[in-house]
Each structure stands twice: as C-alpha cells, then as structure tokens.
C-alpha cells in the first residue's frame, strides 16, 4: 500500500454521494444548502460568525466588536465575556442532559467509567478548587501530562473554569521535551498521573515529571498534582507533590465559572515547525469555543443520541478540539479510550464500538493502515452496525485505505469525512459535511463555510486546476491561532509572510501543498516545509537534528522523512561523527536511544546512516531534497549540479 501520489490522485474518479436517509436527517442536508451557507459566510463573514455565536453559545456579556483584524492579529468577539467550561458543562445541567452520559471511558485493562454531565461538572469544580488551593490563579499556565483517563479532560476543563491556561504535553514525550515546554510556558503547576496503560505496559508519567523537574530545571513549577491510575508506586516529594484523591475530599464542589474575556488565552499547545524549537500555539477562548462547537456539530453531524468516539490523544489538538471541547460544548456523549491496538488484542477498537454502540468514529489514516494490515477478521468478528459516520484526520489518506474504511468498517453505509486542519487552525478547515457534500476517496473535499481557502503560488496568484501550489486561507476565522507564545515575530514570519500579500491582504500559509480539481475539491499533498509526519505525529526535522548533535559523538546531522507504508513517513538520519569516533552498530543504538531521551519514542529514527560529510550546496546548505531521494533509494545521479563535492554523494549512496 502506498501513499497518495499525484498520478493516483489524478486518476481518482470515484464519487460517493451522501446516502439519502443520512442527508434527510442531517444538520446540512444538501450541496445546495452547503453552497448557500458558504456564499452567505463569504459575503459577510463577521455577520455569519456573529449569528452563530449568538445562537450556539452562552455569553455572560455580549461583545462590542465581532472582528478586529489587524494582520496578522485577529480579535474575535472583543468585549464579550464567556467561559468554555460553562458552555461545556453548566448550561447542559438545566436541561434533560443533566443525567446524560457526557464522558464514557474505557481503560486498556478493561476497567471503565461513565460520567454524566452532572457528575463531570462536580468533578471539574472540585478539581478547579484543588488548583486554586495550590495557588493557581487566573492567567497562570498549568502543565498537563496525562494518560487518557477522564481526569485529563477534567484537568483541562478545571483550568478553563478558573481562567488558567493549560498546556497539555503528549504522554509520549520525554522528560527533556516536557521540561522545555514547561519552561517555555512558565508553567506554575503540573497535573500528571502515576502512570497510564498503553500496549499492555505502564507509561511512567510521574517518573518523567520527576526527571523534568530535577535539580530545579523547571523553576517556575511549584506543585505537582498526581492522579492515581496504575498504582505501581512512585516517589512523592513532600510539599511539592500532592495526590488528587487526597486533596479531593478537602475541597468544595462549588466553583462558579470565571467570566473570561473572549480573547483571554485558553491554552498553549506545542507543535513542530521547520525550525528547531517547537512553537507554543496560542488559542483564545471565545473564537475557539465557537469554532470547535460548530465544526463538531456540522462535520460530525452530531445528533442527541450519538455516541461519538475520537481515537486521538488529548495531547494533540485533535484531542483538545474533538474529544473534549467540541463534543461537550454540544452536549454530546464523548468516548475516551486509554490504550491502543496491540498484539494481545488487535480488535480492541471494535470491541469498544460494539460495547458502547459507537455511532460516529474518528481516527487517523495511520491507524486505518494498521487495521488493514491486522486483517479484516477483527472488525468482521464484531457488530459494527451502530456506526453511521466515519472520519479521518492527520495525513493524506490514500484512496485504497479510504475504500477499505468505507467498506469494512462503514459497511458501505457510512459517509466518510476527511478533515484537513492543523493545531494552528483550531478546528476543521477543509472537509465534507456528511449529509451535503459528495466525497472522492483521498480528497478532503470543500472548505467549511466561512473558510476562504485557496491554492496559490509564492506570489499569491491562484494556480490552475490540478496544478500544485501552496494551501492558504484568505480571511481570518474564529478558531485560528492568535500567536506563538512569547514570540509574535515568529508567528508573523512563519504563517503570514511566506506568501506575498494580495491587494494588501496577508494570506495564512498552512505549510501544506495542495491541488484543486475542476469541482473545486482540495487534494492535500503533504508538507512543503521541513516537517514530517510519523504515524500522524508531526515532527520537525530540525528538532531531531538538534537532538542528535547534542550527543558528543555527533558533529553534524541531517534528518529527512522516507515514505513508509504503515507510518506514512519514517525518520532517516544522516550523521557525521566527531574526529576519531568510529561508526558502529552500538553507536546507532545509542544515538537512536538518545533521540528517544531528548524528544520521545515517536521521534526514534528508523535508520541512521554515517557519512564523512553531508551533501551541501556551494553556499553551504545541506541538500535535503537529495538526501530524501537517497533515503528513498531513488536515482539521484542526474540531479546534482549545485552540489559542492560529488564524491560525498557516491559515499552516501553506498552507505559508506
Ligand atoms: C496534515 C492535526 C491531509 C497536514 C489536526 C497538516 C492532513 C498537519 C489532514 C497538521 C488531512 C491533517 N489530509 N493532511 N485530512 N489533516 N493533515 O497540527 O500536513 O498535528 O498541516 O494537526 O497534518 O498536523 P497537526
């Protein structure tokens, strides 16, 4: 199975229209209806979003300005007062949803828990009071380093409730990576667990936190709040570390939601870019609440009785927007699963679908490719008839995986929404609306109403149909990131200055290449910068290079992605060693482990190749394009006119 290529996409002619019974009951019922919404939003975006903000959310106070746009800085619903935790919890308590399941949780070992809206509200209030008790105030930053347990969502909502910004760090990141993020965000407290279950093993989260904080290396962190999950025994530092189950009985379950300014920071989430240091993407309250709410409602066509399951981790934006905030703001039942498909239970996802009657299922192409490899017998042995809608996110999906997903998981009856978006965009940007937009396997289809997406060249001119170009957005939208935490210049440079302004209007540059077809459908071609996607996890090649050169044996390193059938891409590192150090298998192992220690297992190179020198241009730039081709085993002999030293190439090709 291969990644989508230009050739395969150009030959993709299959079109699937929404099933009639699905469309009849959907929020958006036809292509006409979509088109009308789209046109209305385009003609007057501020009015479109304002009407939705009034209709869909609770505000303590109304805004005075819908949109203040001074590129690249947007302010949405300025002057408005809102609290996303109130919208996700309190407002449902005065309706029949009070006793509806808000969160269904399934642990990897088979334990489970269901929290109604009333119960979730109570837990969030207590957790919020615990944070206050430990000195957290409005405006503080709180780190969250958690397994996939209800308390991860509770912690996020508790922060939002009292106006503290959370910065969730994926549990697969190492102590070093955690420490960098806590320091960059000046986190005052960190919420973690003793451990979490993943693939039949315990991820020792508290131990990693201890390492991250050792020797005062994260000086702003004053307290650690620890949730007990795995009970394997951890060290607790008196005065600094507190068990949640010991604090909980001492705090009140009454905690009114703090009215926040619409533009107050809701969270920071770090993501990789083309330079070394991960960026702290900042999202604010009002616009993000509206955008995740309405995309969840229309894209997943949420109905009151849905059991909605997104398989992402809360450590990523997908978990933020589409496990926690979007579904709960809509009063939906959101399902959370702790583990991952594993040798001891390759069919665990389908067990969960059957057990809870999941109706909407949202996952990543890398998972779908893994399911295909594991074999149809696993889904076929379970009753998946409750499913009515499938979604995918994170990477381009190759048409054959799409077809498999539709047939084997969706029983040829469920529409598929292929959702293109990013940490930076807050929510879905290009995606079908399942009752309205016909789908083509491998295409994310059309922009969400209010999103003026296009494909342009570097001068900002739209390219013609089927021609590759840069994916851009022309008008601000409520869910867009507001800045890079502590580095507004980097925000401007990275996203707003890459493409030349058109008629004085800056364009948002996503970092992806794309093409449009004659129907205006978008086909995402993948990153055009030095970002690679390993199993749907976004990694900067420079980040991994920095990790490698921080090892004393390494003089220079260049990292590229190599296409991989299962993971999408795999990390390949070209390394030159210091002076007298000799290459060896042991050194390869050491360096791979070093990357795991510095960043996390998700960044572990699949291959490390040693070389005396790296191919450089005459001006000294590493020729990554060439390295990518070499890593992929392509013939590069005709493509080296700017190469400084041709002999380097021969050595690299032979792996010498
Ligand atoms: C890629 C994940 C093709 C893209 C929500 C983007 C996709 C990056 C799709 C963002 C899709 C995401 N089709 N590519 N449906 N969805 N991508 O920030 O390259 O982790 O720029 O956000 O993933 O990754 P991030």
Cα-to-centroid distance, 394 and ligand 1 (Å): 4
Of 492, 495, 494, 501, the C-alpha closest to 460 is: 501
CA–CA gap between residue 160 and residue 124 (Å, rounded): 10
Cα-to-centroid distance, 363 and ligand 1 (Å): 12
Residue owning the nearest CA to atom 8 of ligand 1: 422
Of 152, 163, 167, 147, the C-alpha closest to 115 is: 152
Residue 11 is predicted with a pLDDT of 63
Choice from 280, 368, 395, 418 to test ligand 1 binding pocket (greatest atom count within 8 A of CB): 395
Choice from 538, 539, 567 to test ligand 1 binding pocket (greatest atom count within 8 A of CB): 538
Choice from 362, 394, 531 to test ligand 1 binding pocket (greatest atom count within 8 A of CB): 394
Residue owning the nearest CA to atom 23 of ligand 1: 394
Q: Is 524 in the pocket of ligand 1 (CB under 6 A)?
A: yes
pTM of the model: 0.95
Q: Count CB atoms within 10 A of the CB of residue 142.
A: 28
Q: Are 499 and 472 in contact (CB under 8 A)?
A: yes
Residue 260 is predicted with a pLDDT of 98
122 Cβ contact list (under 8 Å, min separation 6): 253
Q: Is 561 in the pocket of ligand 1 (CB under 6 A)?
A: no
Q: Measured between alpha carbons, how far is residue 137 from residues 60, 208, 212 in Å?
A: 20, 25, 23
Residue 636 is predicted with a pLDDT of 76
Residue 1 is predicted with a pLDDT of 43
Residue 557, beta-bridge partner list = 575
Angle, helices 175-184 vs 205-213, to 10°: value is 60
State the Rg of the chain over Cα: 24
Residue 504 is predicted with a pLDDT of 86
Of 189, 162, 168, 191, the C-alpha closest to 85 is: 162
Residue 656 is predicted with a pLDDT of 45
Q: Is 395 in the pocket of ligand 1 (CB under 6 A)?
A: yes
pLDDT tens sequence across 360-380: 999 999 999 999 999 999 999
Cα-to-centroid distance, 460 and ligand 1 (Å): 22
Cα-to-centroid distance, 336 and ligand 1 (Å): 21
Residue whose tokens read 């997406």:
453
Q: Count CB atoms within 10 A of the CB of residue 580.
A: 5
Residue owning the nearest CA to atom 24 of ligand 1: 422
Q: Count CB atoms within 10 A of the CB of residue 493.
A: 14
Cα-to-centroid distance, 364 and ligand 1 (Å): 10
Residue 418, beta-bridge partner list = 392
Q: Are 461 and 539 in contact (CB under 8 A)?
A: no
Residue 350 is predicted with a pLDDT of 98
| Dihedral sign of CA atoms 238, 139, 256, 334 in order | negative
Q: Mean pLDDT per segment of 10 residues, for the chain of length 656 residues?
A: 54 88 98 98 98 98 98 97 99 98 98 98 98 98 98 98 98 97 98 97 98 97 98 97 98 98 98 85 98 98 98 98 98 96 95 98 97 96 98 96 98 98 98 98 98 96 96 97 97 94 92 96 94 94 95 96 94 94 96 97 96 86 89 78 71 62
**Consecutive H or E run containing 512:** strand 508-516
Three-class SS state of 122: helix
Cα-to-centroid distance, 218 and ligand 1 (Å): 31
Nearest atom, ligand 1, residue 318 CA: 5
Cα-to-centroid distance, 453 and ligand 1 (Å): 15
Cα-to-centroid distance, 420 and ligand 1 (Å): 6
Q: Is 171 in the pocket of ligand 1 (CB under 6 A)?
A: no
Residue 580 is predicted with a pLDDT of 87
Q: Is 416 in the pocket of ligand 1 (CB under 6 A)?
A: no
Residue 638 is predicted with a pLDDT of 67
């Amino acid at each position: 199975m291969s990644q989508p290529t230009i050739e395969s996409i150009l030959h993709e002619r299959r079109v699937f229209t929404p099933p009639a019974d699905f469309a009849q009951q959907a929020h958006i019922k036809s292509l006409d209806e979509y088109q009308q919404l789209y046109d209305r939003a385009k003609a007057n975006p501020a009015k479109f979003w304002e009407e939705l903000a009034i209709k869909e959310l609770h505000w303590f106070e109304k805004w005075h300005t819908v949109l203040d746009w001074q590129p690249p800085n947007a302010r949405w619903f300025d002057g408005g007062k809102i609290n996303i935790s109130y919208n996700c919890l309190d407002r449902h308590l005065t309706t029949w949803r009070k006793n509806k399941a808000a969160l269904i949780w399934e642990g990897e070992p088979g334990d489970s828990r269901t929290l109604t809206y009333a119960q979730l509200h109570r837990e969030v209030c207590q957790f919020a009071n615990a944070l206050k008790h430990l000195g957290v105030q409005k405006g503080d930053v709180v780190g969250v380093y958690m397994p996939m347990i209800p308390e991860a969502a509770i912690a996020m909502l508790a922060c939002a409730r009292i106006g503290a910004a959370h910065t969730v760090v994926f549990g697969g990141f190492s102590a070093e990576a955690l420490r960098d993020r806590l320091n960059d965000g000046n986190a005052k407290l960190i919420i973690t667990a003793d451990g979490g279950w993943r693939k039949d093993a315990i991820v020792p989260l508290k131990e990693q936190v201890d390492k991250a904080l050792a020797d005062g290396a994260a000086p702003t962190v004053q307290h650690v709040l620890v949730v007990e999950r795995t009970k394997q025994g951890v060290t607790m530092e008196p005065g600094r570390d507190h068990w949640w189950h010991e604090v909980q009985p001492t705090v009140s379950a009454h905690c009114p939601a703090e009215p926040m300014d619409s533009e107050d920071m809701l969270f920071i989430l770090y993501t990789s870019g083309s330079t070394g240091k991960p960026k702290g993407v900042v999202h604010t309250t009002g616009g993000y609440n509206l955008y995740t709410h309405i995309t969840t409602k229309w894209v997943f066509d949420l109905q009151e009785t849905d059991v909605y399951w997104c398989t992402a981790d809360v450590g990523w934006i997908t978990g933020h927007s589409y496990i926690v905030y979007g579904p709960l703001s809509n009063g939906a039942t959101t399902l959370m699963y702790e583990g991952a498909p594993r040798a001891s239970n390759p069919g665990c996802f389908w067990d969960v679908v059957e057990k809870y009657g999941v109706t909407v299922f949202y996952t990543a192409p890398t998972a779908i490719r893994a399911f295909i490899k594991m074999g149809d017998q696993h889904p076929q042995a379970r009753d998946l008839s409750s499913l009515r809608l499938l979604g995918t996110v994170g990477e381009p999906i190759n048409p054959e995986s799409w077809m498999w997903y539709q047939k084997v998981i969706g029983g040829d009856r469920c529409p598929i929404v292929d959702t293109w978006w990013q940490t930076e965009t807050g929510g879905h940007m290009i995606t079908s609306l399942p009752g309205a937009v016909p789908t083509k396997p491998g295409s994310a289809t059309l922009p969400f109403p209010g999103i003026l997406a296009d494909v342009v060249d570097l001068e900002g001119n739209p390219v013609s149909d089927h021609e590759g170009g840069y994916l851009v957005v022309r008008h601000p939208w409520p869910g867009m990131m507001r800045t890079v935490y502590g580095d507004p210049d980097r925000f401007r440079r990275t996203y707003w200055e890459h493409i030349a302004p058109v008629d004085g209007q800056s364009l948002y540059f996503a970092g992806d290449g794309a093409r449009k077809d004659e129907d205006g459908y978008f086909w995402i071609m993948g990153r055009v910068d030095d970002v690679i996607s390993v199993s749907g996890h976004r990694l900067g090649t420079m980040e991994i290079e920095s990790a490698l050169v921080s090892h004393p044996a390494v003089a220079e390193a260049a990292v590229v992605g190599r296409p991989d059938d299962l993971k999408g891409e795999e990390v390949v590192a070209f390394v030159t060693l210091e002076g007298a150090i000799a290459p060896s298998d042991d050194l390869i192992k050491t360096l791979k482990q070093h990357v795991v220690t510095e960043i996390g297992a998700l960044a572990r190179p699949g291959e490390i190749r040693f070389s005396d020198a790296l191919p450089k241009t005459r001006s000294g730039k590493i020729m990554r394009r060439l390295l990518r081709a070499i890593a992929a085993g392509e013939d590069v002999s005709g493509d080296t006119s700017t190469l400084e030293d041709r002999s380097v190439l021969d050595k690299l090709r032979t792996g010498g």
